[in-house]
Amino acid sequence: MHYTEIMVRYGELSTKGKNKKDFIKQLGKNVRAVLHPFPKLEVKPQRDRLHVALNGEDDQQVIESLKGVFGIENFYPSVRLEKDMAIIKQTALEMVKEQYHDGATFKINTRRQDKHFEYDTNQINNQLGDYILENVPGITVDVKHPDISIRVEIRMNGAFLSSEKIHGAGGLPVGTGGRATMMLSGGIDSPVATYLAMKRGVKIDMIHFYSPPYTGEQALNKAKQLTSVLGKYSGNIQFIQVPFTEIQETIKEKVPEGYLMTIQRRMMLRIAAQITQNRHCTGVFTGEALGQVASQTLESMMAINDVTTMPVLRPLVSMDKTEIIKISKQIKTYDLSILPFEDCCTIFTPPAPKTRPDLAKSRKFEQYIDVEGLMKKAIDNIEITDIKPGEEFLNQNQDVFAELL
């Protein structure tokens, strides 16, 4: 079937009034942004749903793009027809035949907005049902659990038929939940945490710490590539890279080994919180999950979180690694995350970091370094890149696989 338009149903629209208006307006903007590569189509957000008129653009590509947009519950690719019963019957029959298999059941589900159309809902259901029963030998009706369901809508501007219901990404439109930063490593967890933050409508700016020459260009590009994959769910993302080498070297020199990791994390969070504040964002997200590694015990989180009053949000906090991996595969970040490029943290992680760091000691050992000076220098030297969805940073054919071999 060659679709001519897509009817989109909104997600969590339990909110009313201004929130509902903001939801619809933002979703319209986000849908337009993701469908930017298709100049001929038109996006029309309305009170109870949004319509995309394809105007000849490729329906399958548009369908794929819509699957990533938060705030969409589901959508129905449809064909727009003249309001002529003979034409409607013919198209409904074609749709059924496309999906028919031995013993299949069907149902016609009509809605009529145009009250002047010559037949009412029941008459349309019956006429189309009879026509299909006559023309598809072996098919039967099942109104409760049909294998094939044909939706018919008689609207003012035409008759719309659809036979396919596609699940949307759910959640809230990105941008309706404010703006925050994400501490993005190259690992499995932080991309998943990013996805979950975006799903609740938060617009995310990425903060990534890197330590040349201990970490190579590849590690930085991997973080950028992850960002470009996640851009599919939010549009362009600002990627902020923070030089961390001098801080790590200083900590390694001055701080007792058991506290290397805690102090590094305190410095990271301090810098992230400062950047967050400078950009008028209102929270820092991380990919931490309780109990995964030494830095992710409650005691450790307390010792690290001590450096800021900025909300630190941890969407993965109670999830098992297997659940996190499952999502990372679904959102297509897993294969990138497992590429074996050194991360700035792993290099300076001592063999036995304290799993229960003491808060007073953390504060004390930190006095051995010039916290303010190091912080300022790092923030003065950040670099910001605006990353587009799908932009390429790793040459998949050469670099990555050459390193993997």
Q: CA–CA distance from 295 to each of 169, 210, 258, 301, 385 (Å)?
A: 32, 18, 11, 7, 29
Which segment (138-146, 150-158, 287-295, 389-397) binds ligand ATP by CB under 6 A?
287-295
Which of 171/287 has CB closer to ligand ATP? 287
Compute how many residues bind ligand ATP; rule: CB under 6 A: 19
Main-chain dihedrals φ then ψ at residue 231, nearest 5 degrees: -60, -25
- Please tell me whether 111 is known to bind a ligand: no
Which segment (86-94, 120-128, 172-180, 206-214) binds ligand ATP by CB under 6 A?
206-214
- Please tell me whether 287 is known to bind a ligand: yes
Q: CB under 8 Å to 212, separation ≥6 — which residues?
A: 243, 245
Q: Is 283 in the site for ligand ATP (CB under 6 A)?
A: no
Let me know: does 188 contact 337? Beta carbons within 8 Å: yes
- Please tell me whether 209 is known to bind a ligand: yes
Burial class (CB in 10 A: 0-12, 13-18, 19+), 138: exposed
* Cα 83 off chain centre by: 39
Tell which one of 264, 286, 333, 362 touches ligand ATP (CB under 6 A): 286
Which of 290/371 has CB closer to ligand ATP? 290
Tell which one of 59, 153, 205, 288 touches ligand ATP (CB under 6 A): 288
Tell which one of 13, 161, 183, 226 touches ligand ATP (CB under 6 A): 183
Q: What is the DSSP string of 17-49?
A: HHHHHHHHHHHHHHHHHHTTT-TT-EEEE-SSE
Distance CA 112, CA 151 (A): 11
- With CB cut-offs between 5 and 8 Å by kind, which of Mg ion, ligand ATP, none does residue 188 bind? ligand ATP
Min. distance of Cβ 295 from Mg ion in angstroms? 9
- Please tell me whether 268 is known to bind a ligand: no
Binding interface with Mg ion (CB under 5 A): 185, 187
Let me know: does 77 contact 162? Beta carbons within 8 Å: yes
Which of 149/227 has CB closer to ligand ATP? 227
Write out the two tokens for 284.
């820092």
Query: Which residues are bridge partners to 43 per DSSP?
Result: 52
- With CB cut-offs between 5 and 8 Å by kind, which of ligand ATP, Mg ion, none does residue 327 bind? none
Q: Show contacts with ligand ATP in window 314-343 (CB under 6 A).
A: 343
- Please tell me whether 85 is known to bind a ligand: no
Q: Is 366 in the site for ligand ATP (CB under 6 A)?
A: no
Distance CA 354, CA 260 (A): 9
Q: Is 92 in the site for ligand ATP (CB under 6 A)?
A: no
Measured distance between the N- and C-terminal CA atoms of the chain, rounded to whole angstroms: 44
- Please tell me whether 183 is known to bind a ligand: yes
- Please tell me whether 208 is known to bind a ligand: yes
Min. distance of Cβ 59 from ligand ATP in angstroms? 37
Write out the two tokens for 385.
């890149």
For binding to ligand ATP (CB under 6 A), which residues are involved?
A: 183-185, 187-190, 207-209, 286-288, 292-293, 295, 343-345
